[in-house]
């Protein structure tokens, strides 16, 4: 079973256990509890540092309790954050900017956690050797899939848009079967399915046309927290960030130990998780500092943010451009480990 299929199967049972149910479960927790964060996020290995920080005692050493749950549906997560039932979520910055978010929706980005560096992309037939070759052809995929946003980003740089391609909407889990149709020139997909299609397709010349490695940083997962609670309790979120980046330090020093700790939380074999993480780059504390705004400038995330203001509007995922600040706030990262254990 493909990893992403397994994820989708998990998510089928999550609505009863997801953000709305979790909101009820968390409702007894005071909104201003200074040492507790309730965090809900998609079932994705990029968020494994949270579990490692829990298991290694990085949170508890700072008297911080972190409660977690999986839910991929932002239509559940955003209301839970708005009511104060949860304080934290994580997902790609492009998704975080899309509907139902509006300019006044609660949520502040305070850090990055991982970057896709090849785990997402587009597989094409042999006659499609450039993104420009897709113009007038059929590409299958989900409209908000990272592969689709990558194509729109590439087309925009040549003065074109996704409107110049015939988009066939499918479930990503079906991309391997759909690609066998010779009328489909390309599919937006992800690993491990992407590599499997290239290896096993009956179509001659099948190859990866475009991947997140071509635009490193565009598909970036960010940490988003409830704005009013963050403003009232900044040190609580500094504790959370320290735990995350200490866990990422562990991955960089000993990835096998990191994976052994976190794989059980995803009910996934360690070797399968290791393979999937080959296309993922966890962002260290220093890298996150370089991405977020500070006294030295807007940070690298500003370029990504501006790109998605354009991508999402073209894909009709966003009503109009959002403002970078105060939605993105790097203040919690300033001197994060000064006088602290790392």
Tens-digit pLDDT profile for residues 242-257 = 999 999 999 999 999 9
State mean pLDDT over 39-47. Answer: 94
Q: Is residue 286 part of a domain?
A: yes
Structural domains in the chain (count): 2
| 17, 163: one domain | no
pLDDT, tens digit (0-9, with 9 covering 90-100), for 221-238: 999 999 999 999 999 999
Are 100 and 23 in the same domain? Answer: yes
For residue 29, the model assigns a pLDDT of 37
Query: Among 183, 215, 247, which residue terminates a domain?
Result: 215
What residue numbers bound the domain in which 211 lies? 120-215
- Residue closest to 186 by CA, chosen among 235, 136, 229: 136
Average pLDDT over residues 95-116: 94
CA distances to 168, 179, 266, 286 from 200, in Å? 22, 11, 27, 40
Average pLDDT over residues 101-112: 94
pLDDT at 328 over 50: yes
In a domain, 342, yes or no: no
CATH of residue 60: 3.40.190.10
99 and 225 in a common domain: yes
Query: What is residue 5's predicted lDDT score, i.e. its pLDDT?
Result: 40
> Residue 262 domain-assigned?
yes
Q: What integer is the mean pLDDT of 92-99? A: 94
Please say whether the beta carbons of 5 and 194 come within 8 A. Answer: no
What DSSP element (H or E) covers 281? strand 280-282
State yes or no: pLDDT of 12 exceeds 70.
no
Phi, psi of 190 (to 5 degrees): -150, 170
As a whole number of angstroms, the distance between CA 6 and CA 254 comes to: 26
Co-location of 142 and 61 in the same domain: no
Contacts from 95-98 at CB under 8 Å and sequence distance 24+? 95/144, 96/222, 96/224, 97/305, 97/308, 97/309, 97/312, 97/318, 97/322, 98/144, 98/312, 98/317, 98/318
Q: In what order do the strands lie in the sheet with 186-190?
A: 166-169, 138-141, 186-190, 120-124, 207-211
Q: What is the mean pLDDT of residues 293-313?
A: 96
Residues 99 and 225 in one domain: yes
Terminal CA-CA length for the chain: 38
Task: Please indicate, yes or no, if residue 340 is contained in any of the structural domains.
Answer: no
CA-based nearest residue to 134, from 143, 144, 124, 121: 124
Neighbours of 75 (CB within 10 A): 11
State the chain's maximal CA–CA distance in angstroms.
Answer: 61
Asked, for residue 339, whether it belongs to a domain, the answer is: no
Task: Mark whether 150 and 285 lie in a shared domain.
Answer: no
Residues 6+ apart with CB under 8 A from 252: 282, 284
Please state, in angstroms and as integers, the Cα–Cα distance from residue 28 to each residue in 22, 25, 33, following that order. Answer: 11, 7, 11
Q: Residue 214 pLDDT more than 80?
A: yes
d(CA 214, CA 216): 6
Q: What is the average pLDDT value for the chain, to the nearest integer?
A: 90
pLDDT at 32 over 90: no
Same domain? For 201 and 225 the reply is no
> Does any domain span residue 338?
no
Q: Given this model, what pLDDT does residue 2 score?
A: 41
Residue at a domain's end among 215, 245, 262: 215
Other residues' Cβ atoms within 10 Å of the Cβ of residue 13:
10
**Is residue 188 a contact partner of residue 169, using CB atoms and an 8 Å limit?**
no
Are 94 and 140 part of one and the same domain? no
223, 110: one domain? yes
User: Among 186, 215, 244, which residue terminates a domain?
Assistant: 215
CA atoms of 189 and 78, how far apart (whole Å): 26
Which comes out higher in pLDDT, residue 120 or 7?
A: 120
pLDDT in tens, 250-300: 999 999 999 999 999 999 999 999 998 999 999 999 999 999 999 999 999
Tokens of 130: 């450039």
CA distances from 234 to 83, 89, 108, 110 (A): 19, 16, 12, 10
Helix (H, G, I), strand (E, B) or coil at 78: helix
Q: Sorting pLDDT into bands at 50, 70 and 90, what band is 112? A: very high
Same domain for 33 and 86, yes or no, is yes
User: Same domain for 24 and 85?
Assistant: yes
For the stretch 54-60, contacts whose Cβ atoms lie closer than 8 Å and that sit 24 or more positions apart, written own/partner, are 54/243, 55/261, 55/262, 56/246, 56/247, 56/250, 56/261, 58/242, 58/243, 58/246, 58/247, 59/239, 59/240, 59/243
CA-only gyration radius of the chain, Å: 20
The C-alpha atoms of residue 4 and residue 15 are separated, in whole angstroms, by: 17
């Amino acid at each position: 079973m493909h990893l992403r299929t397994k994820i989708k199967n998990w998510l089928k049972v999550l609505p009863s256990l997801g953000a709305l149910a979790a909101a009820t479960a968390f409702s007894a927790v005071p909104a201003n509890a200074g040492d507790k964060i309730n965090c809900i996020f998609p079932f994705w290995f990029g968020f494994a540092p949270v579990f490692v920080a829990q298991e290694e005692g990085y949170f508890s050493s700072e008297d911080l309790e972190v409660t977690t749950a999986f839910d991929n549906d932002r239509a559940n997560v955003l209301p839970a954050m708005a009511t104060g039932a949860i304080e934290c979520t994580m997902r790609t910055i492009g998704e975080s900017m899309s509907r139902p978010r509006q300019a006044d929706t609660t949520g502040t980005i305070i850090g990055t956690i991982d970057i896709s560096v090849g785990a997402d992309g587009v597989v094409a037939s042999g006659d499609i050797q450039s993104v420009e070759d897709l113009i007038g052809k059929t590409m299958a995929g989900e409209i908000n899939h990272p592969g689709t946003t990558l194509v729109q980003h590439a087309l925009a740089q040549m003065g074109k848009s996704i409107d110049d391609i015939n988009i066939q909407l499918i479930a990503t889990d079906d991309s391997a079967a759909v690609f066998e149709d010779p009328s489909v020139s390309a599919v937006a997909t992800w690993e491990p399915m992407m590599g499997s299609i290239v290896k096993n397709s009956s179509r001659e010349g099948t190859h990866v046309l475009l991947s997140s490695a071509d635009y490193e940083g565009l598909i970036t997962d960010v940490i988003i927290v409830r704005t009013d609670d963050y403003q009232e309790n900044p040190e609580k979120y500094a504790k959370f960030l320290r735990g995350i980046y200490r866990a990422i330090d562990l991955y960089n020093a000993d990835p096998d130990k990191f994976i052994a700790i976190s794989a059980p939380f995803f009910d996934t074999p360690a070797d399968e998780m290791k393979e999937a993480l080959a296309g993922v780059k966890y962002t260290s504390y220093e890298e996150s500092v370089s991405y977020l705004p500070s006294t030295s400038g807007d940070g690298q995330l500003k370029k990504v943010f501006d790109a998605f203001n354009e991508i999402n509007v073209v894909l009709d995922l966003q009503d109009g451009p959002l403002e970078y600040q105060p939605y993105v706030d790097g203040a919690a990262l300033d001197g994060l480990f000064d006088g602290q254990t790392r």
